Amino acid sequence: MKIRGLGKIKRTARQHLPSIFPGTLILLYHRIAEPSTDPWELAVSPAHLAEQLEVLRKLWRPTRLQDFIGANPSDKNMARSVVVTFDDGYRDNFYNAKPVLEKFDVPATIFVTTGRIEKNGEFWWDALEAILLQPGELPASLSLTFGQETKGWELGQNTVYTPDEVRQHKNWRAWETPPTTRHRLYQELYALLNPLSPAEQQAKLAELRAWSGLEETTRFEYGSVNAAELQGLVKDNLVEIGAHTVNHVNLSTLPTSRQSYEIKESKDTLETIIDRPVKSFAYTFGRKVDYNQSTTKLVQELGFNCACSNFSGISGRRRNTYELPRVQMHDWNGAEFERQLWQWYGI
């Protein structure tokens, strides 16, 4: 049965609920770019970011992460707050995200992986994508040894991969059924590389490049922010820099001493570059299985006052500041983004 006036009632409720509805949303972005492939759905286009921030500025209260941490949980002003964060420290955060943040005067925290500052090279998952999911021709067979086991693959009809095929499969995601043997190989190699140490990952990528005949290159838009760009990000105090380990490793798999190095070294490196305290941390990968009690204890002991995770939720009055939930952003236009906001609040 259609209820007359229901749409108007909902619109009125939505206009007023942000001022009284409890809880704060922390949004998680990664890249602000339009890549030809995006297997992990990390990218939001600059145009869509602008639409999303316009919605935030219109309906909600964009809030600094540190202001949220320092606020009294019962503060009514925090009930309509939304915090913007970025993970990893891609270069496009400086060139594409910062101008949009400035346009709408939306503060943000960017969590930076420090091991690639001032170094060439891409994150290993991007390097793997460059080898397998970009146009070109690859050998028909691949053999790699992991531990004591040698694994083999055949590319079959997908030795040659054309620009048209790249465009055709642009919207494929790594958790979906692979449309070609190249995509299946990407899935399987990602699973094999993920648990390895950074040195082992780089060694396997070197083997893959030797097999493919490709040289190691760093695509500009896939690079990490350098020291000058980091300093530029914090220049006007709109952006806070947070730590995100040295090597983007799964912390729960490491002994406490190694976890301590990854966390402390990233903090120290960033503080040296930007010449200000680094108080915020984000767990790499960020699921509850990706860090443990030793990790959260270390984060506190090493001088951070908060840590962001990567599981969905709203931070309310009973929030744990060292396991803050975040909601993953996608390449939505403004209307869809607004719909998602209300859905997260159950409205």
**pLDDT above 70 for 8:** no
The reported pTM is 0.92
Domain boundaries, the chain: 18-120+221-344, 124-217
Residue 300 to residues 135, 137, 146, 202, 255, Cα–Cα distance (Å)? 46, 49, 36, 31, 17
Are 62 and 56 in contact by the 8 Å Cβ rule? The answer is yes
Average pLDDT of every residue of the chain: 92
To the question of domain 18-120+221-344 being in CATH 3.90.1150.10, the answer is no
Assign 21 a pLDDT band (cuts: 50, 70, 90): low
Name which residue leads in pLDDT, 137 or 73: 137
Residue positions counted in the chain:
347
Mean pLDDT across 249-274? 97
**pLDDT above 80 for 220:** yes
Q: Closest by alpha carbon to 265, among 280, 288, 246, 251?
A: 246
pLDDT of residue 76: 66
**Among 73-87, 152-166, 281-295, 330-344, where is mean pLDDT lowest?**
73-87
Query: How many CA atoms does the CB half-sphere of 295 hold within 13 Å?
Result: 27
Residue pointed to by tokens 């979906």: 176
Are 44 and 29 in contact by the 8 Å Cβ rule? The answer is yes
C-alpha span between 85 and 27 (Å, rounded): 6
C-alpha span between 76 and 55 (Å, rounded): 21
**pLDDT above 90 for 17:** no
* Count of Cβ atoms closer than 10 Å to residue 255 Cβ: 9
Are 288 and 308 in contact by the 8 Å Cβ rule? The answer is no
Structure tokens at 321: 């500041």
* Count of Cβ atoms closer than 10 Å to residue 173 Cβ: 10
pLDDT tens digits along 189-216: 999 999 999 999 999 999 999 999 999 8
C-alpha span between 240 and 65 (Å, rounded): 8
Residue 341 to residues 24, 56, 81, Cα–Cα distance (Å)? 11, 9, 12
pLDDT of residue 5: 47
The number of helix segments (H) and strand segments (E) in the chain equals 13, 14
Mean pLDDT across 211-238? 95
The dihedral built from the CA positions of residue 337, 341, 346 and 347, taken in this order, carries a sign that is negative
C-alpha span between 181 and 179 (Å, rounded): 7
pLDDT of residue 316: 77
Structure tokens at 79: 């009930």
* Residue 226 buriedness (CB in 10 A; 0-12 / 13-18 / 19+): middle
* Residue 161 buriedness (CB in 10 A; 0-12 / 13-18 / 19+): buried
C-alpha span between 25 and 19 (Å, rounded): 14
Assign 126 a pLDDT band (cuts: 50, 70, 90): very high
